[in-house]
Amino acid sequence: MVKLFQAADATDLVTELRRSFDAGVTRGYEWRVAQLKKLLLICDNHESEIVSALHDDLGKPELESSVYEVALLRNSINLALKQLKDWMAPDKAKTSLTTFPASAEIVSEPLGVVLVISAWNYPFLLSIDPVIGAISAGNAVVLKPSELAPASSSLLAKLLEQYLDSSAVRVVEGAVPETTLLLEQKWDKIFYTGSSRIGRIIMMAAAKHLTPVVLELGGKSPVVIDSDTNLKITVKRIIAGKWGCNNGQACISPDYILTTKEFSPKVVDAMKQELEAFYGKNPMESKDMSRIVNSNHFDRLSKMLEENEVSDKIVYGGQKNRDKLKIAPTILVDVPLDSQIMSEEIFGPLLPIITLNNMEEIFDVIRSRPKPLAAYLFTQNQKLKERFAMTVSAGGIVFNDIAVHLAVPTLPFGGVGESGMGSYHGKFSFDAFSHKKAVLYKSFIGDAAIRYPPYSTGKLRLLKALVNSNIVEIFRVLLGLS
């Protein structure tokens, strides 16, 4: 029988990991590199098991699992291995006249014992990618994968235990009760990926211990299609970014399309044509699409689709099979803006298209809604791109493609407002798990009497001039001219 994870287990776990951290186990460059290399070995030796777990949990096609989970992780680990020395090196900082003579640097120090809570939709990528950051930055870490992807969760627990240093890296499997026990502990950072509803619970638990958080949340990511676009490529990329990424169950998946009334019939026709080319006449039979994760999510999506004034707006798809947890790619045109499908994150294979009179109205719809994790614009119009970049607030924006910014490690990945706080990927992951410690080096040379009592008007003037770095005034005071 599996032993229940209880309050004392959570306390013991953190105590044990803190002991390792305090003993310096995780601090050295060699330890960090050794753990990262082990993560690489997991990717190399167990890719087929990972692919099979993802198939069990989500019916994820092999290509998506191998590329969007394992290959992206390999990239992330290799980058960390290549750049870790640079990341760990202190950054020289300039000093000012006030502290002259002195030198200064910014030291990246590990935070301590951190908790990573991840989601079910990309269970390997979203679990291991933050762990790469935590280890690179020299922390001890506990990972809590999502219970909604149980095959992936148990494989993660098995492999991390088998390969990594268990005195400093652990996996706790479980659902709400286990996570609640973990959240009662004092962590030095909590990195959470999931919905904004649970994000609020995480932040409240963190506040009790003044624990900083990274919240990688979701939201409704809009896609704007301008008429000045290459429509064939536009539509192919939208399909690949929606149904070709875990069947719309992705945080930066296109949630809805905005285009003009005039252009929308062309968009709909092109979508139908390319969808059929990708998934055939009967997409319910396609092996190239994930299924819906579970019956709760299937019912949630069905409810969205069956709402009044929504069900009659389907122009393509709409087929469902609850036993197989399959919903066909479904396009709807001009559903009400206050319907459930336009108010909540869809996170599935439904795609509403909203048509408006012009770009001004389109921009207004985006700006009147909570800030999304991603916003996309397809256009060849440079001026429009500039306006979009300057006026639309989102975690990230991409022109003429979907989701690809996620694979650029020099770009921070994270949300703003309702879509989250903090970011990671590449060096941003290292920074997310580091404290930037200010270190100032002074010697005993140049001990100026003006900073010590008894105070005088002359000292006051000189100190003010020094603090303001006003060289002219310093000379005037020193020469008795002020």
In 3D space, the residue among 369, 18, 383 whose CA is nearest the CA of residue 228 turns out to be 383
Which residue, 147 or 165, is less far from ligand NAD as judged by CB?
A: 147
Smallest gap, in angstroms, from Cβ of residue 414 to ligand NAD? 7
Which one of 26-34, 111-119, 284-292, 306-314 is the stretch in contact with ligand NAD (CB under 6 A)?
111-119
Smallest gap, in angstroms, from Cβ of residue 294 to ligand NAD? 10
311, two tokens: 């069900």
Smallest gap, in angstroms, from Cβ of residue 145 to ligand NAD? 6
Residue nearest ligand NAD by beta-carbon distance: 218
Which residue, 226 or 255, is less far from ligand NAD as judged by CB?
A: 255
DSSP 8-state symbol, 426: T
Smallest gap, in angstroms, from Cβ of residue 293 to ligand NAD? 8
- For the beta sheet containing 140-144, the strands, ordered from the edge strand earlier in sequence to the opposite edge, are 169-171, 140-144, 113-117, 189-193, 213-216, 420-421
In 180-236, beta strands by DSSP E: 189-193, 213-216, 222-225
H/E stretch holding 314: strand 314-316
Smallest gap, in angstroms, from Cβ of residue 299 to ligand NAD? 14
Residue 95 makes CB contacts below 8 A (sequence gap 6+) with 102, 103, 104, 440
Name the amino acid, one letter, at 413: F
In 3D space, the residue among 161, 143, 202, 187 whose CA is nearest the CA of residue 46 turns out to be 161
Catalytic residue among 64, 69, 178, 216: 216
Which residue, 156 or 465, is less far from ligand NAD as judged by CB?
A: 156
Which residue, 252 or 332, is less far from ligand NAD as judged by CB?
A: 252
H/E stretch holding 108: strand 102-110
In 3D space, the residue among 215, 253, 219, 226 whose CA is nearest the CA of residue 237 turns out to be 253
The answer to whether 216 is a known catalytic residue is: yes
From residue 301 to residue 340, the character string flagging contacts with ligand NAD as x (rule: CB under 6 A) and all else as - is ----------------------------------------
Which residue, 106 or 198, is less far from ligand NAD as judged by CB?
A: 198
Residue 369: C-alpha distances to residues 301, 344, 365 (Å): 21, 11, 7
Does the protein bind ligand NAD through residue 294 (CB under 6 A)?
Answer: no
Does the protein bind ligand NAD through residue 146 (CB under 6 A)?
Answer: yes
H/E stretch holding 179: helix 176-183
Establish how many alpha carbons lie within 13 A of residue 384's alpha carbon, considering only the half-sphere containing its beta carbon.
20
Neighbouring C-beta atoms of residue 453, cutoff 10 Å: 6
269, two tokens: 């026709």
Per DSSP, what are the bridge partners of residue 225?
A: 259, 378
Task: Name the CA dihedral angle for 253, 259, 265, 266, rounded to a multiple of 10 degrees.
Answer: -80
In 3D space, the residue among 354, 272, 274 whose CA is nearest the CA of residue 317 turns out to be 272
Which one of 215-223, 272-280, 447-455, 461-469 is the stretch in contact with ligand NAD (CB under 6 A)?
215-223
From residue 224 to residue 263, the character string flagging contacts with ligand NAD as x (rule: CB under 6 A) and all else as - is ---------------------------x------------
Choose, by CB under 6 A, the member of 345, 396, 434, 474 that binds ligand NAD: 345
Smallest gap, in angstroms, from Cβ of residue 415 to ligand NAD? 6
Does the protein bind ligand NAD through residue 474 (CB under 6 A)?
Answer: no
Which residue, 286 or 340, is less far from ligand NAD as judged by CB?
A: 340
Helices and strands (H, E) in the chain, number of each type: 18, 18
Which one of 84-92, 140-148, 232-240, 270-278 is the stretch in contact with ligand NAD (CB under 6 A)?
140-148
Smallest gap, in angstroms, from Cβ of residue 385 to ligand NAD? 24
Which one of 9-17, 26-34, 43-51, 112-120 is the stretch in contact with ligand NAD (CB under 6 A)?
112-120
Cβ-contact 391, 363 below 8 angstroms: yes
Helix, strand, coil % in the chain, rounded to nearest 5: 50, 15, 35
Q: Using omega within 30 degrees of 0 as the cis cutoff, is the peptide bond preceding 254 cis?
A: no
Smallest gap, in angstroms, from Cβ of residue 252 to ligand NAD? 7
Choose, by CB under 6 A, the member of 51, 53, 119, 354 that binds ligand NAD: 119
How many residues bind ligand NAD, per CB under 6 A? 28
From residue 57 to residue 96, the character string flagging contacts with ligand NAD as x (rule: CB under 6 A) and all else as - is ----------------------------------------
Which residue, 251 or 341, is less far from ligand NAD as judged by CB?
A: 251
In 3D space, the residue among 137, 140, 156 whose CA is nearest the CA of residue 80 turns out to be 137
From residue 172 to residue 211, the character string flagging contacts with ligand NAD as x (rule: CB under 6 A) and all else as - is ---xx--xx------------xxx--x--x----------
Whole-angstrom distance, CA of residue 30 vs CA of residue 88: 12
The answer to whether 109 is a known catalytic residue is: no
From residue 350 to residue 379, the character string flagging contacts with ligand NAD as x (rule: CB under 6 A) and all else as - is -----------------------x------
Per DSSP, what are the bridge partners of residue 102?
A: 442
Show which residues are catalytic.
216, 251
Applying CB under 6 A, the residues found at the interface with ligand NAD are 117-121, 126, 144, 146-148, 175-176, 179-180, 193-195, 198, 201, 216-218, 251, 345, 347, 373, 415, 420
